[in-house]
Structure 1
Amino acid sequence: MEQDRRYLRTQMQKENIIQKLKERGCRITKQRLMLLDIILEEDCSCCKEIYYKASRLDDRIGTATVYRMVNTLEEIGAISRKNMYRITCDQDCEMENACTIEFDDNTIVELSSSKWNQIIQSGLLACGYLNGHHVRSIMAKSYE
């Protein structure tokens, strides 16, 4: 039941965004629809993550297409980059692929939210920042 409501809510959002894009004179291409689905269905933390997910579905998509789409969505008020990078899972959250890390050799590691939280907690503790506190949220700034 809840999944059905979420699906309907997502479809309504998608239709509303498509209408706004049409009003701006944007063509509604298969790649734009795919990017919109990824953004609406996934919790992406940055344009690169959107690109990686999209390139798995269509290897012809370019990073410029992703950046343009995100900029357009931001311009029409469909998304806000300020909120796009917020990570809100606590230590009990079980979301898969909550964090994607890319290394300099182009390898990628996807961490569940619980593993991501464990790594952050361990790092903060090792550096002396926790001092009995618990992480409420993390705001990652994009270097894009």
Structure 2
Amino acid sequence: MQNTEAEKDEKRTGCYRHTQMQKDLIIEKLKERGLRITRQRMILLDIILEGECSCCKEIYYRASALDQKIGVATVYRMINTLESIGAISRKNMYRVACSTKGACTVELDDDTICHLSGQKLNEVILAGLKACGDITGQNIRTLALLPVHKIG
């Protein structure tokens, strides 16, 4: 059974409200710390809340595309500030890197490494999508992983 357009809109709106609520709470905590809510901080906060970046360097690349005056130091300061107010935790970041042979290595924040075959990766992603309610009876046709930029 596929989701109706109304159900899809409700999911998107609910997600937006959740993110907006998070953003409002974070802004309030930053103000309580005496920090100004600058345009650069708002850009960084929006990028971080999207949840698509797994490291500071990725955040920097996306932010600098929007505002060339944002430097790496600004990103690190914002990450440290957000971590100090409890808004994020760098310990929960993880990296996924897939080789050209179809095998996948997942490195977790506690240095645990999981090696997955292409078939196993497909099963894991399919189970995750089902558990999150993103799919009901569909199967994965294509899976594309983007390269992860590493710091260091």
Letter in 2 for 1:24: R
Letter in 1 for 2:34: G
1:13 Cα deviation from its structure 2 partner: 0.1
Query: Equivalents in 2 of 1:81, 1:64: separation in Å?
Result: 16
Check the 8 A contact 2:83/2:90 in 1, yes or no: yes
1:24 Cα deviation from its structure 2 partner: 0.9
In structure 1, the residue matched to 2:120 is 134
TM-score by length of 1: 0.64
In structure 2, the residue matched to 1:101 is none
Map residues 45-124 of structure 1 onto 2, 5 A cutoff: 45-85=54-94, 117=98, 119=100, 121-122=102-103
Sequence identity (%): 58
Query: Equivalents in 2 of 1:23, 1:120: separation in Å?
Result: 50
Q: Which runs of 5+ in 2 are unaligned?
A: 1-9, 106-114, 126-147
1:26 Cα deviation from its structure 2 partner: 1.0
Distance 1:25 1:55, change over 3 A: same
Check the 8 A contact 2:64/2:70 in 1, yes or no: yes
Check the 8 A contact 2:26/2:87 in 1, yes or no: yes
Secondary structure of the residue aligned to 1:77 is: coil
* 1:3 aligns with one of 3, 6, 12: 12
1:56 Cα deviation from its structure 2 partner: 0.5
In structure 2, the residue matched to 1:24 is 33
Larger Rg: 2
Secondary structure of the residue aligned to 1:134 is: helix
Distance 1:118 1:25, change over 3 A: same
Letter in 2 for 1:13: Q
TM-score by length of 2: 0.61
Q: Does 1:38 align with 2:47?
A: yes
Give runs of ≥4 in structure 1 deviating > 4 Å.
none
Q: Which runs of 5+ in 1 are unaligned?
A: 88-115
1:117 Cα deviation from its structure 2 partner: 4.7
Query: Equivalents in 1 of 2:98, 2:104: separation in Å?
Result: 10
1:134 Cα deviation from its structure 2 partner: 3.3
Distance 1:71 1:130, change over 3 A: closer
